[in-house]
């Protein structure tokens, strides 16, 4: 077993790290305060290939692999979790299912603009009553000639406010539950799509989290993604891969908070010495680093299994669960090491503490991840 990154992955990591330090890190606090990521930064991320990391070059992607994608999200999230989740949701929840389930015509039509950042992608699954229960989808559709007509509502849609490209889940017969669901590729600037609101959140405030109403939204028949009645399969496969992105985001948040706590512990003096000389602080740092490294191994393993074409369902659930709980733990400890200053918005750990919690919730709560893991163990 080789735990070293390849030379290509190291070059990618260093390149992204330089870009983050120069272009994203200086804007991180402003992004949080203004609740928006500047369009110029989104454009730069597209030009860098960060929005199409593992997508093939023939569709305008960077032609890398899933591990590269995890590294990209991790490095960006060290400085700005809002930017990290933009990349994660865009790539794995929209471009990913189009790549996996789309026809050649659909890939040629939709992926180039997504990979360049001309369009920002999202995944319209979550609903007010169904939540994470994809089988409980209440949004409906019917066929009218060469079109599908969709009606319903969606909430908590990451990247929705960009009104770019969306993968929408809807049911033709709710009594069939998961067997009645289909997936569609939708231009969110289409008539019939209305933004109800962009949520005002505790953390990742620069990321759009949008509620939509879909009223007689007409979608061309050629926009059906995969086979009719197989949308649940699209959703499960998409969420499975998406958990790697959330784990990478959580890992980056934890690493960013740890780096700042470690540096602060060396600078801050109390009782005539640096606080890092106190065993209590040393124990905190040791626990934080150990959890981070464990999360990194799980996350990278899940990405490598996906790259190898092997089953990675359990590993994706484990890495998402462990990394997100690590992010919450590490940011809390980082804030504690900063003492009163950690509670002040001038210090980045305050923002990271707020950003971390959502990683335990979206892409399915960690209780759901435990259900997935335990069912696989017992099957």
Q: In 182-278, which residue ranges form alpha helices assigned H by DSSP?
A: 231-267
- SS3 state at 119: coil
Q: Is 363 a catalytic residue?
A: yes
Per-residue burial over 221-252, b = 16 or more CB atoms within 10 Å of its CB, e = otherwise: eebbbbebbbbbebbebbbbbbbbbbbbbbbb
Integer-rounded Cα radius of gyration of the chain: 21
Task: Supply φ then ψ for residue 62, to 5 degrees.
Answer: -85, -10
Candidates 74, 127, 360, 363; catalytic one: 363
**Helices and strands (H and E) in the chain: how many:** 12, 10
Q: In the chain, which residue ranges form alpha helices assigned H by DSSP?
A: 7-19, 28-34, 39-47, 66-79, 81-90, 96-101, 104-116, 231-267, 279-307, 313-338, 348-356, 366-378
Query: What tokens were used for 142?
Result: 């019917």
322-83-134 Cα angle (round to 5): 55
- SS3 state at 215: strand
Asked whether the beta carbons of 124 and 168 are under 8 A apart, the reply is yes
DSSP state of 326: H
Q: In Å, how far are 19, 42, 138, 159 from 170, measured between CA atoms?
A: 39, 29, 7, 19
Task: Supply φ then ψ for residue 155, to 5 degrees.
Answer: -135, 165
Catalytic residue ranges: 363
């Amino acid at each position: 077993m080789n735990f070293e990154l390849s030379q290509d992955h190291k070059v990618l990591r260093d390149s992204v790290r330089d870009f983050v330090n120069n272009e994203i890190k200086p804007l991180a606090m402003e992004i949080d305060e203004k609740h928006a990521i500047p369009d110029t930064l989104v454009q730069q991320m597209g030009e860098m290939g960060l929005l199409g990391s593992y997508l093939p070059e023939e569709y305008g992607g960077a032609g890398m692999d899933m591990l590269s994608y995890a590294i990209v999200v991790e490095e960006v999230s060290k400085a700005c979790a809002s930017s990290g989740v933009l990349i994660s949701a865009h790539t794995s929840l929209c471009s990913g299912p189009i790549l996996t389930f789309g026809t050649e015509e659909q890939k040629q039509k939709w992926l180039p603009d997504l990979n360049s950042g001309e369009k920002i992608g999202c995944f319209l699954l979550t609903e007010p009553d169904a939540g994470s229960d994809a089988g409980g989808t209440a949004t409906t559709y019917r066929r009218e000639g060469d079109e599908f007509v969709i009606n319903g509502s969606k909430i908590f849609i990451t990247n929705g406010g960009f009104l770019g490209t969306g993968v929408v889940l809807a049911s033709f017969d709710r009594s069939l539950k998961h067997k009645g669901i289909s997936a569609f590729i939708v231009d969110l600037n289409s008539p019939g799509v209305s933004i109800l609101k962009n949520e005002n959140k505790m953390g990742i405030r620069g990321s759009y989290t949008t509620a939509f109403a879909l009223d007689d939204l007409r979608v061309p028949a050629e926009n059906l993604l995969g086979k009719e009645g197989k949308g649940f399969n699209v959703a499960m496969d998409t969420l499975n891969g998406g958990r790697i992105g959330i784990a990478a985001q959580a890992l980056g948040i934890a690493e960013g908070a740890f780096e700042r706590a470690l540096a602060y512990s060396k600078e801050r003096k109390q009782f005539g010495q640096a606080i890092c000389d106190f065993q209590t602080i040393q124990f905190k740092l040791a626990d934080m680093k150990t959890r981070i490294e464990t999360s990194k191994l799980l996350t990278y393993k899940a990405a490598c299994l996906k790259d190898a074409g092997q089953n990675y369902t359990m590993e994706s659930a484990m890495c998402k669960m462990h990394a997100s709980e690590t992010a919450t733990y590490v940011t809390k400890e980082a804030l504690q090491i900063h003492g009163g200053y950690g509670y002040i918005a001038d210090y980045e750990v305050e923002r990271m503490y707020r950003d971390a919690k959502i990683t335990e919730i979206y892409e399915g709560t960690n209780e759901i991840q435990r259900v997935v893991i335990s069912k696989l163990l017992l099957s």
